[in-house]
Amino acid sequence: MLGKLMKYEWKATWKLLLPMNLFIVVMSLFSYATIQMSFFDSDNAVVILTGTFIIMAYILSLVVVSIVTMIFLVYRAYKSVYGDEGYLLHTLPVDKHHIIIAKSVVSLAWVLINILLIYLSIVFVLSTQMEFMKNVFDGFNTYIELVNDYADIGAFDVIMTLIAGFVALIAKILKFGACISLGQLSSNHKVLASFGFYYGIYFIQNIFNMMYLVVMELMVDTTVSTATMSASAGVASTWAFDLIANLIYCVVFYIATWYVMEKKLNLE
């Protein structure tokens, strides 16, 4: 049943999200062409203005598409689980775990597609400026070397940081699901209650982050002889904290969503 739920979730989302994300590709091509055709070197003010407009529209499209993708996924989750379509979803002979997993996996897939497209698009457009790209890479290498003077950051740290980021993304998606679900516990103003839970959880997460920083500050040994070791430990503890905290968030948000769906469902 999980596969079927994912299939229909994909069907319900791709019609809007695919064209929107393809729009990024189109805008990237336009921007690439604009720079390649030296619009900005022209003597004609109209050509320069057109080029400026295209580049601005391109940057705006990156921002707008990623925001709309997220808003659409949240709206879709609300509508299909607790709106009219929920009457069908919750009368299907399927496990609530499968519903949560199917929706989360498809949402995660769209967010990843969106992030990947934006990265590729930026690299593609900037590839017109090889000198600039070279400077960026040189700057990045210098930064890594500087950091490595104080901390021994290996491939393991980079991989773990990426994994921590991936888990943070899952936690973010589950957080939206949990807030929508917890909002349903309110007899009136369910949407308002969902926003309340979102900001409440955001506040609590910030407190945890601050507590971590304070603890780190107290623990870091600032003596010169142990500076390298401390910085290395700092990097490791940062991804370790992110990873552990987000894994805990994932479990908490998942259980909260499941609890409301399984034990407290009230489609009024």
Partner 1 sequence: MIPVVQCMGLTKTYGGKLALNQIYLNLEPGKIIGLLGPNGSGKTTLIKIMNGLLKPTAGEILIGGHRPGIETKYRISYLPERTYLNPGLKVIEMVQYFQDFYPDFRTERAFDMLQRLQIPPNERLKNLSKGTKEKVQLILVMSRDADLYVLDEPIAGVDPASRDYILHTIVSNYNRNATILLSTHLISDVENILDEVVFIKYGNIILQAPAEQIRQREGKSIDRFFREVFAC
- The site for partner 1 (CB under 8 A) is made up of 1, 4, 7-8, 11-12, 15, 80, 84-88, 90-95, 187-188, 263-268
Contact status, residue 173 vs residue 111, Cβ threshold 8 Å:
yes
Q: Report the C-alpha gap between 120 and 114 in whole angstroms.
A: 10
Q: Report the C-alpha gap between 203 and 207 in whole angstroms.
A: 6
Nearer of residues 12 and 220 to partner 1, judged by Cβ: 12
Nearer of residues 134 and 264 to partner 1, judged by Cβ: 264
From the CB of 72, what's the least distance to partner 1, in Å? 12
From the CB of 254, what's the least distance to partner 1, in Å? 19
Nearer of residues 145 and 268 to partner 1, judged by Cβ: 268
From the CB of 253, what's the least distance to partner 1, in Å? 21
Nearer of residues 2 and 105 to partner 1, judged by Cβ: 2
Nearer of residues 76 and 175 to partner 1, judged by Cβ: 76
Q: Report the C-alpha gap between 187 and 267 in whole angstroms.
A: 11
From the CB of 76, what's the least distance to partner 1, in Å? 10
Q: Report the C-alpha gap between 248 and 109 in whole angstroms.
A: 21
Nearer of residues 39 and 82 to partner 1, judged by Cβ: 82
Q: What is the secondary structure of 75-134 as a DSSP string?
A: HHHHHHHHSTTHHHHTTSS--HHHHHHHHHHHHHHHHHHHHHHHHHHHHHHHTT-HHHHH
From the CB of 259, what's the least distance to partner 1, in Å? 12
Other beta carbons within 10 Å of 164: 20
Q: Report the C-alpha gap between 104 and 54 in whole angstroms.
A: 35
Helix (H) or strand (E) holding 61: helix 45-82
From the CB of 84, what's the least distance to partner 1, in Å? 5
Amino acid present at 254 = Y
